[in-house]
Chains A and B, each alone.
Chain A
Amino acid sequence: MERKRSVRRRRKTARRSWLKQCKEFLRQFIAFLFSNVGIILLVAGYTIAGSFIFMTIEGKHKLKLKEEVLNNRTIFAGKLWNITYELNRKVMGKEQFNASIDELLRLYQKLVVNFTRRGFDGTDDLTSSAQWSFAGAFLYSLTVITTIGYGNIYPRTPEGKIATIVYAIIGMPLFLLYLSNIGDIMARSFKWIYAKCCLCRCCPGVAKRRALRKIRREKRMQMDYDSDVTGSDVTEVSISNPPLGPRHSTVSEALTEELDTDVQNVPVPVTVCLAIMVGYICSGALLFCKWEEHWTFMDASYFCFISLSTIGFGDLVPGDKIYGRGRDFYAEVLELSFVFCSIYLMLGMALIAMCFNLMQEEVIHKIQTTVRTVKYILRCNR
């Protein structure tokens, strides 16, 4: 009977095996995607896909704008020629010439300002748009989903704007998921490292001393508590006290508990978290001011802070040189700087999420203990 059923089942599974396998595979795939490794790949893939989308959408618009700029420049050169021609015919002197040139330049300046506002970046070549290169688009996608939003490049076409909105709606939760996921892992591993290395959890002597201290403290509190309660409601206490009774009667018990306490319960001090954040920003600043030519250390740390706090002004952007005139030739190196910045951002935001994670716990713990102390003091003052 049993065998028959199993055989039948096997046949059934064989029939549906393909579908099931497919389903199972899909399920596993999705599970993998949302696992810790998968989420990194997912975010990276999403960003890359976004950079391709924006490259194709936004690439054309730039060319039109540049043509316009070139046309304008030619027109103004023609006007200059007219002025010079008049000067040559002795119609006007130097003063007049300078005044008219100034007038013309003023007009031209207005036009340039206008073009810059519309997204002119100073490069001249019509064939490729330097802003929406792959690296630029990658950085753009990343700044969208992290809500940094430098704004050094932004979509100009309506399609690009709509695509940005849709991209952000999907991408931001994804990135938050990444942050919480990675932050959690990092927090856990950091706690482990901290507990193992800094607090000497593995060293039995330290643990024993700590356990003893704990017992002493608890006993003291217990005694106070008993003296308090006895006056109030005798029957209630006599009933409710036994389960409350001192838990750690012996040192060894406490010791085992001390050793058994989860590493995850170890609070990491706030100062350590702050030091990590400051250290990360400073090291990033050092790297950036090495990498970028014009940046001072001050500028670089300002940039790091503004980026990691997701404010993202965009007044300083890595790879500024890419818009530098006539330097497109370094393009490969500059792409590297974009990639480097992206990695720095992704890692740094996860790190900051971790630090906030740890700090939150610690602060709550601190508040709790402070309140307890205040109560304790107040009770003694009575």
Chain B
Amino acid sequence: MSIRYKSDPEIAEYESTKCCTSFLHYSWKTVTCLFSHVTLVSMVVSYCVLGAFTFEALEVANEKKVKSGIYKIRENVTWHLWNYTQGIKAFDEENYTRGALLYLKHFENSLLDKMNKDGWDGEEDPDKVQWTRTGSLFYSIIVITTIGYGHIAPKTSWGKVVTIFYAILGIPLMLLCLSNIGDVMATSFRFLYWKVCCYTCQKKPKKRRTRGSIRSDKLSRSRQGSFRRYTRTPRLPELGPMSHSDTELRYLDDPFPSRRRSERFRKSDDPSRKISRTSTVSSPPVQQNHLEPPLRGYSLDRKRRAEEAPDLDPSLIDRTPILFNKYIVGTDGGFERMIPGKGITPRQTEFQKRSASVPRTRRFLEPPRYPSPDGSTDVEEDVDSLKDARRPRGRSPRPSPSPRMMTPIGYGLPGRYYDDDSDAYDAYEAGKARIRPVPIWLCVFLVVGYILAGAYLFMTWEGWEYLDAAYFCFITLTTIGFGDLVPAKEVSRDNSRATISIALCSLYLLFGISLLAMSFNLVQEEVIGKVKRIAKSLGIIKSTSDDEDDDDDD
């Protein structure tokens, strides 16, 4: 109720006042800019630098004190040994050795104590501290990525308290940043993948081909749109009995029959059409399906979609009124035709931009996951359908002008940007199965390759064995972080080299974790689908399979 209500005033708002919408638009722009990739990354970097300064200031004094303590331990042992030597009356090697062993053992233990409890690193030189600027920076990164090697750890109580609060703030920030980067990488990777396996191999896009075709940016963008449409398919009721290979479907078919039809209705002006539209609105969607000619195939899991269809039907009925309202205002293509006497003004493009800004903001405002009684998904579908309408498509029911002419210049880019973000939001939806076109094996191969390459890098740089280096990479990227192998620990404590080594490791792990996030992003839907199918075939109840989805989400 609330959402539906909210969407309508927006239109009114748009039509009557532009200042409010523009204000909202700009405020949202600032917010999104704040959380945009560049800002996030710079925020994380500055946060790390801040942490570096703080921890250095807090811990350096303590570490120097510990180092000076070592000398005292040795002195103590020497004194004991001197006394022992003096105290012995008869010189017998056997006896003496037995006593000396005890002292040595004692010495050993105190050293171990220093290392384990006070975090002594085994160096005595007070100038060679662990908590240098770079060391503290590395520590900050290690904390907020939750790797936690533990090779340096705060020993003062202030250091501990600050670490706790630093982590509370930093971990979510880092997660946000990483997921953002991972998202961008996923989008670009998908884009790259589809560019590489070109239009000519539409029939079997799973196979990688050499980059044979040169596509303009614009075209690939429109491709993205079609991909989006394709990904939406699982939500729609199953329509056609025929099934083709999914690859054919991906580009050729429009998976939104109802939407297309509604658009078709909208495209015509005459009032009779309007009436007929409303009549279809009130009719149940099952009937709509009958009206529709059987579509060419879906390779998707039939059962799954059949299962989701009933969920959708009430929402279809619910949303239709807004949908049309939305379309009247929002569509670029249908704008002039729809509202005679309203749309065609010299400022039309500006108008369109504004109108587009409304749903965009709305999309941000409403994360789709929250289970409102009306189902927020319908709103989302609205926006999506809006996007679809905005997007040119190959087999539009009416003869449409060329896609590029339809889209206002400078419009595609923000649209695409928001597409990325919508992807991020969609990722939140656990239960909805969608299929990503990038195959699992490629992602797995990418991650394994990254680990192996990193192992080679660390092998040459740190002088570890290959297995050790690979183990280190794995332990780091999974954020387990034992800390048995840490860069710049074994190498000579040459300052510049240690700095480079730490920088290398930080870059490696930041990039690697976002790579992992990316491959999760790419793979998760496919994995979810597969796991679901397996679960279903095993006869495991549905709730369990949902949980498994959650698992993969994580």
Contact = CB atoms under 8 A, between A and B. Distances in A.
Interface residues of B, number: 101
A65 interface: no
Contact of B321 (A143, A228, A243): A243
A182 B155 CA distance: 35
B242 interface: no
Contact of B74 (A97, A102, A247, A375): A102
A164 B366 CA distance: 42
A17 interface: no
Contacts of A122: 108-109, 112
A80 B12 contact: no
Contact of B105 (A73, A97, A240, A364): A73
A49 interface: no
B272 interface: no
Interface string A20-45: 00000001101100110000000000
A312 B23 contact: no
Given A34-B544, A77-B104, A149-B475, A365 B370 contact: yes
Interface in A117-150: 117, 119-122, 124, 143-144, 147-150
Contacts of A121: 112
A81 interface: yes
A367 B282 CA distance: 33
A129 B535 CA distance: 43
A106 interface: yes
Contact of B163 (A113, A172, A302, A323): A302
A13 interface: no
Nearest to B120: A113
A364 B548 contact: no
B378 to A, nearest CB: 13
Contacts of A221: 5
A38 B213 CA distance: 52
B85 interface: yes
Given A31-B539, A378-B24, A76 B1 contact: no
Interface stretch (B143-151, B257-265, B285-293): B143-151
Contacts of B23: 378
B101 A74 contact: yes
B335 to A, nearest CB: 14
B412 interface: no
Interface of A: 27-28, 30-31, 34-35, 73-74, 76-78, 80-81, 84-85, 87-88, 94, 97-98, 101-102, 105-106, 108-110, 112-114, 116-117, 119-122, 124, 143-144, 147-151, 154, 158, 161-162, 164-165, 168, 172-173, 176-177, 179-181, 184, 218, 221-222, 224-225, 228-229, 231-233, 235-236, 239-241, 243-244, 247, 264-265, 296, 298-299, 301-302, 305-306, 309-315, 320, 323, 325, 360-361, 364-365, 367-368, 371-372, 374-375, 378-379, 381-382
Contacts, number: 281
Contact of B554 (A114, A180, A313, A364): A180
Contact of A177 (B274, B467, B470, B551): B551
Given A113-B122, A117-B122, A151-B483, A311 B143 contact: yes
B535 to A, nearest CB: 8
- What are the nearest 7 A-B pairs in CB distance? A240-B321, A149-B480, A313-B150, A311-B148, A113-B122, A151-B482, A315-B153
B540 A382 contact: no
B540 A364 contact: no
Contacts of B161: 298, 302
B278 interface: yes
Given A151-B481, A312-B148, 15 more contacts: A84-B85, A102-B75, A109-B107, A113-B115, A113-B122, A148-B480, A168-B478, A233-B328, A311-B481, A314-B483, A325-B109, A361-B370, A375-B10, A375-B24, A378-B24
